């Protein structure tokens, strides 16, 4: 491109348009060239900004070949402000792809053949043009209505890809369950799109518009739950529980909680059977006291599980571990575990009642803890003042009458009361 100094701005812009069209092998009609020229010329007079030669050189270097760039540099050496404006805005327009605005796009039938792929983020034809930043050109050539359909499909595909990526993110057990359910919904969306046949872009939009909106809704929910997860698992559980209050998300929340409850329940049931536990509302306590070796983390208890039930679960686990210490081969069997496991409060309540019965039977019948405690009480209070006074008084009269066992028993009965038989004997 040879541009001589002293030429007016119109000639400079026209020469640049001609050279660029030849270099890019773009067939521009005379009308297209004139329209583009008329589009660029007003910038020279309307803009108050006079671009520096450095700005223009940077644009030229990024958009043109080395040979063409050297010619631009030569032109700038003796250029006027108006010429610099013309060259500068031409380069800016080129960056935005306006020069390509009049190049024909694919016919509708070609775009329709790629609509299913576009709905899951694989773009071809019109959808590829939109993805590449040429949405304005597509809209100008196909009309607003058809463009809105394509843009909706494009955005659904973009959100689909984003959610697929998010499904591999790490997080709390509940977040993992949430993302697993989201992945299942994406699979169902994809299967539905490819399984149902339509005959036009409009028909595709009518058939799958609700599904595409649901994909966007899933994206918003994933974003929200990730924010809640940053502030602790309790807030995450409460967020999912609140989703059950909306008819739009009730079924999703139910699916998430089911996926969340199953692994949590399985882990707690394993703990009840004697294994170690992690990532739950029960934690090991660093103590030598057997009964206090496990504690309840109330902040970690799921909202769908009452504190009462959680305490019963803790009691069952402790009983399971202490029974063999009272008597060899004595254990608590967990039978008929329901599908919802620890979230079935009736089952937990029945096992809790059985645990109470077994621990009482073991302690008070087999281990005879009540008798041992009574003996310990008597030993500790053997020298209580009233007993000692009565015994000394009895010994003072030793010469008058011999001390017998009956007399001592009477004194004991007076101090401690008559011994009652254990309710468990």
Structure token pair of residue 121: 């983020």
Q: Please calculate the CA angle 207-209-212 and round it to the nearest 5 degrees.
A: 125
294 φ/ψ angles, rounded to the nearest 5 degrees: -130, 140
Which pLDDT band holds residue 392 (cuts at 50, 70, 90)?
low
- Count of CA atoms in the C-beta half-sphere (13 A) of 323: 23
Q: What is the pLDDT of residue 159?
A: 94
- Rounded to an integer, what distance in angstroms lies between the CA atom of residue 378 and that of residue 372? 10
- Rounded to an integer, what distance in angstroms lies between the CA atom of residue 293 and that of residue 104? 76
Q: What is the pLDDT of residue 414?
A: 62
Q: What is the pLDDT of residue 424?
A: 35
The pLDDT of residue 1 is above 80:
no
Decide: 131 and 121 in contact? Cβ < 8 Å: no
- Rounded to an integer, what distance in angstroms lies between the CA atom of residue 407 and that of residue 419? 16
- Rounded to an integer, what distance in angstroms lies between the CA atom of residue 165 and that of residue 154? 17
Higher per-residue confidence, 397 vs 38: 38
Q: What is the mean pLDDT of the chain?
A: 77
Convert the pLDDT of each residue in 296-341 to its tens digit. Answer: 887 777 767 888 988 888 888 888 888 777 665 567 777 778 877 8
When mean pLDDT is compared across 151-155, 215-219, 323-327, the lowest value belongs to: 323-327
When mean pLDDT is compared across 60-69, 245-254, 375-384, the lowest value belongs to: 375-384
The pLDDT of residue 5 is above 90:
no
With both helix axes pointing from N to C terminus, report the angle between 144-166 and 173-195 in degrees, rounded to the nearest 10: 140
Strand blocks (E) in 275-342: 282-284, 294-296
Structure token pair of residue 129: 């043009």
SS (H, E, C) 293-338: CEEECHHHCCCCCCHHHHHHHHHHHHHHHHHHHHCCCCCCCCCCCC
Convert the pLDDT of each residue in 73-120 to its tens digit. Answer: 888 887 777 777 777 777 776 665 545 555 678 889 999 999 999 999
> What is the end-to-end Cα distance of the chain in Å, rounded?
113
The pLDDT of residue 208 is above 90:
yes
Higher per-residue confidence, 65 vs 232: 65
CA distances from 189 to 156, 184, 185, 186, 233 (A): 11, 9, 6, 5, 29
- Count of CA atoms in the C-beta half-sphere (13 A) of 386: 9
C-alpha 179 chain-centroid distance: 6
The pLDDT of residue 32 is above 90:
no
Helix, strand, coil percentages in the chain from 3-state DSSP, rounded to 5: 70, 0, 30
Q: What is the pLDDT of residue 89?
A: 72
Decide: 243 and 249 in contact? Cβ < 8 Å: yes
Q: Is the full-model pTM beyond 0.75?
A: no
Convert the pLDDT of each residue in 226-249 to its tens digit. Answer: 887 776 666 676 777 778 777 888
Which pLDDT band holds residue 187 (cuts at 50, 70, 90)?
very high
The pLDDT of residue 379 is above 70:
no
Higher per-residue confidence, 51 vs 412: 51
Q: What is the pLDDT of residue 113?
A: 92
């Amino acid at each position: 491109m040879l541009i001589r100094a002293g030429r007016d701005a119109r000639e400079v812009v026209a020469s640049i348009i001609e050279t660029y069209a030849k270099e890019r092998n773009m067939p521009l009609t005379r009308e297209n060239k004139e329209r583009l020229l008329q589009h660029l010329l007003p910038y020279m007079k309307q803009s108050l900004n006079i671009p520096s030669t450095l700005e223009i050189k940077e644009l030229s270097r990024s958009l043109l070949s080395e040979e063409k760039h050297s010619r631009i540099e030569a032109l700038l050496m003796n250029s006027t402000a108006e010429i610099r404006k013309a060259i500068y805005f031409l380069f800016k327009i080129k960056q935005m792809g306006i020069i390509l605005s009049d190049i024909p796009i694919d016919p509708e039938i070609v775009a329709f053949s790629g609509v299913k792929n576009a709905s899951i983020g694989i773009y071809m034809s019109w959808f590829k043009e939109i993805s590449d930043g040429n949405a304005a050109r597509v809209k100008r050539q196909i009309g607003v209505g058809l463009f809105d359909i394509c843009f909706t499909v494009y955005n659904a595909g973009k959100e689909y890809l984003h959610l697929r990526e998010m499904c591999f993110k790490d997080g709390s057990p509940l977040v993992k369950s949430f993302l697993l359910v989201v992945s299942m919904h994406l699979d169902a969306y994809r299967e539905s799109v490819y399984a149902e046949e339509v005959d036009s872009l409009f028909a595709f939009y009518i058939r799958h518009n609700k599904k595409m909106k649901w994909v966007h809704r899933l994206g918003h929910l994933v974003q929200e739950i990730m924010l809640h997860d940053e502030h602790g698992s309790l807030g995450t559980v409460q967020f999912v529980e609140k989703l059950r209050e909306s008819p739009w998300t009730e079924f999703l929340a139910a699916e998430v909680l089911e996926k969340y409850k199953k692994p949590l329940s399985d882990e707690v049931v394993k703990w009840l059977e004697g294994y170690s536990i992690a990532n739950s509302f029960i934690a090991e306590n660093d103590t030598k006291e057997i009964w206090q070796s496990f504690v309840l983390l109330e902040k970690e208890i799921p909202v769908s599980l009452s504190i009462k039930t959680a305490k019963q679960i803790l009691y069952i686990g402790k009983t399971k571990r202490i029974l063999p210490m009272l008597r060899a081969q004595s254990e608590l069997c967990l039978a008929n575990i329901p599908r919802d496991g620890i979230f079935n409060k009736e089952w937990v309540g029945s096992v809790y009642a059985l645990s109470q019965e077994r621990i009482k039977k073991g302690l008070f019948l087999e281990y005879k803890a009540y008798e041992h405690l009574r003996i310990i009480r008597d030993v500790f209070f053997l020298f209580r003042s009233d007993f000692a006074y009565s015994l000394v008084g009895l010994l003072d009269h030793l010469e008058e009458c011999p001390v017998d066992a009956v007399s001592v028993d009477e004194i004991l009965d007076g101090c401690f009361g008559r011994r009652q038989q254990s309710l468990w004997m």
